[in-house]
Amino acid sequence: MGLWETISGRSRPKRANLDALFLVPSAAVTLQTAAGLLPTGDGAVCYRAATGAGFHETQGDIVALLGAAPDAPQVETSVDSFGFTWLQVHRDPSDPEGIAALCTDLHAVNTTLESEGFGPGLLCSLVPFADPTGRRVGLVYLYKSGTFYPFAPTGPQQRDNLLELQVRDTLRAELPIEPELSGWLALWGAPGL
Amino acid sequence: MARSRFVGDAGLTVRMTTVMFLLGALFVALVVGLALAAGGGLGILIGIAGIGVAVYQWANSDKVAMRAMRAREVSPEQAPELHGMIDRLCALADMPKPRVGVADTSVPNAFATGRSPERSVVCVTTGILGMLSAEELEGVLAHELSHVAHRDVLVMTVASSAGIAAGMLGQGARFGGLGLFGRRGNNGGLPVWLVVLLVSLAVYAISFLLLRLLSRYRELAADRAGAYLTMRPDALASALTKITGGINQIPQRDLREVSAASALCIAPAIGGVSLSTLTATHPSLEQRLEQLARIQAELSRPTA
């Protein structure tokens, strides 16, 4: 915050940075070759639902928009224990183009929310990956800082820090990674992980 | 271009900056007035001392407030829900995460303090944890985080410099200046120490009223920012209603325990009708609810 914002006690809601999501498909290729992690075909956008009819309508529009495409994915919404909504998109994991289509879906969700004025409510997007041994790690995109970080839960309140750091080092050249480890928000109970 | 649901409030900004300008002018007037009445060196000395005490208070604000509320810091393991909520709000606002404290008192309240966003504490009482639902608590936390983001502790302590300087001066002048104000031969006129005492009393009174006004504006600003952060003005509104009602029902003895840190709390810790609106640290509940209702209307406006 600048001096003027401090003096006037007035912070504007932070705007979301959306375009970095399109870096995910190439990062997915790197993850597959370097760490054996494959996309699970799922993806989710986590946001804060605003009160009232305007938001309800917008969310309905998004689900309809995603369902209208010829290769429509499965879409569902759920609300977690913190009151944040997860809009989940499921695609066929065996489709090699699936991850690119998934990112387009997630981007469509973001731009629709943004254009209706709900951009400040966007928290993160999540693209889960899994390896053949069953380890799972989610690539999380934080809209407000415009950075990615890996999140690998192993239990109800436990995360695999070693795997997370390994993923960070693998993707460092391709994605803007959140530099502060304290900013690697734990998303317990995130769908798809 | 994406449209925004953020409604500006130019009136509040203008009123707030005017009050801050007046407080600054008051400080300058005190120093200049003193320099004229009792010599330039003393005026500047008192000015520096006033700022010095304010800076000291600001630097130690987190420790002092935590001690006054008898709060202890809690780790993510001790309070996972509280930490999880604050984690998410900080990610949503892209701000560093403050430390989290809990105070063992049945008075429902919450406060934020600390010298900078990097070194701040957000503290809630066990009373508020038991009283509010998760959504309402989140609204309260968003309000406190807005105080942190707006650097309200810094603003309020700097703004109180004039009052502090005048207070110190009044104490000194009461005892005949302690020899500081030399007896000049102004035959028949008022003694210098009396002039200084009267001036400092006047400055103190004006500064007190302006500070309270500024505090109320900062509260409204924090309400606004908090409501936009959670996108749920209704949750904050119902939390405020519950807390204010709860505070008025709590016996008086409990309330004195927390009155020291009152200006930093989410709702005034001193209840009752005797408190006039002019000297209140917080705006009235009606005023706060009205503002939240306006934000709510804007957020729920149907899509074009």
| Interface predicted TM-score (ipTM) of this complex, two decimals | 0.87
Q: Out of A6, A58, A61, name the one closest to residue B151 (CB).
A: A6
Which of the pair, B181 or B219, is modelled with greater confidence? B219
Question: Distance between CA atoms of A142 and A148, rounded to whole angstroms?
Answer: 6
pLDDT at B261: 53
CA distance A153 to A138: 9
Least confident of A75-79, B32-36, B183-187: B183-187
pLDDT at B64: 84
Picking from B2, B228, B302, the nearest residue to A13 by CB comes out as: B228
Residue B265, pLDDT score: 61
| B202: closest CA of chain A, how far (Å) | 25
pLDDT confidence of residue B2: 46
Q: How many residues does chain B have?
A: 304
> How many other C-beta atoms are found inside a 10 Å radius of the C-beta of residue B279?
11
Residue of chain B nearest A11, judged by CA positions:
B225
> What percentage of chain B has pLDDT greater than the value 90?
16
Residue B140 has pLDDT above 90, yes or no: yes
Q: Mean pLDDT over residues B24-45, rounded?
A: 80
Helix (H, G, I), strand (E, B) or coil at B157: helix
How would you classify the pairing of strands A85-90 and A74-79?
A: antiparallel
Going A171 to A175 to A179 to A183, the CA torsion angle's sign is negative
Asked if B152 reaches chain A (Cβ–Cβ under 8 Å), the answer is: yes
CA dist A48 and A50 (Å) reads 6
Cross-chain residue pair A185–B88, CB shorter than 8 Å: yes
Residue B283, helix vs strand vs coil: coil
The per-residue pLDDT of chain B, averaged, comes to 80
| B-contacting residues in A 70-89 (Cβ below 8 Å) | 81-84
Measured distance CA(B190)–CA(B82) in Å, rounded: 60
Q: Which residues pair with A151 in a beta bridge?
A: A138
Nearest to A14 among B93, B151, B300 (CB): B93
Residues in chain A: 193
Backbone angles phi, psi at B136, to 5 degrees: -65, -40
* Half-sphere exposure at residue B23, Cβ-oriented, CA atoms within 13 angstroms: 28
C-alpha span between B280 and B293 (Å, rounded): 22
Cβ pairs bridging A and B (under 8 Å): 134
B93 pLDDT above the threshold of 90:
no
Backbone angles phi and psi of A10, in degrees to 5: -140, 105
Asked whether the predicted pLDDT for residue A159 surpasses 60, the reply is yes
Q: Answer yes or no: is pLDDT of B298 > 50.
A: yes
Tell me the pLDDT tens digit for each residue of B45-77: 888 888 888 888 888 888 888 888 888 999 988
Task: Give the tokens for residue B172.
Answer: 């000194």
Q: How far apart are CA B133 and CA B148, in angstroms?
A: 23
* Residue in B296, B92, B35, B19 with CA at minimum distance from that of residue A142: B92
Find residue B112's DSSP bridge partners.
B122
Q: What is the pLDDT of residue B185?
A: 46
Q: Whole-angstrom Cα distance, residue B264 to residue B276? A: 19
The tens digit of pLDDT for each residue in B239-277 reads 998 888 755 554 444 555 555 555 556 665 544 443 445
pLDDT confidence band for B1 (50 / 70 / 90): very low
Which contiguous run of DSSP H or E holds residue B24? Answer: helix B10-38
d(CA B134, nearest CA chain A) in Å: 8
Residue of A nearest to B228 (CA): A13
Q: Are B137 and B110 in contact (CB under 8 A)?
A: no
Catalytic residue among B73, B118, B138, B144: B144
pLDDT for the residue B279: 64
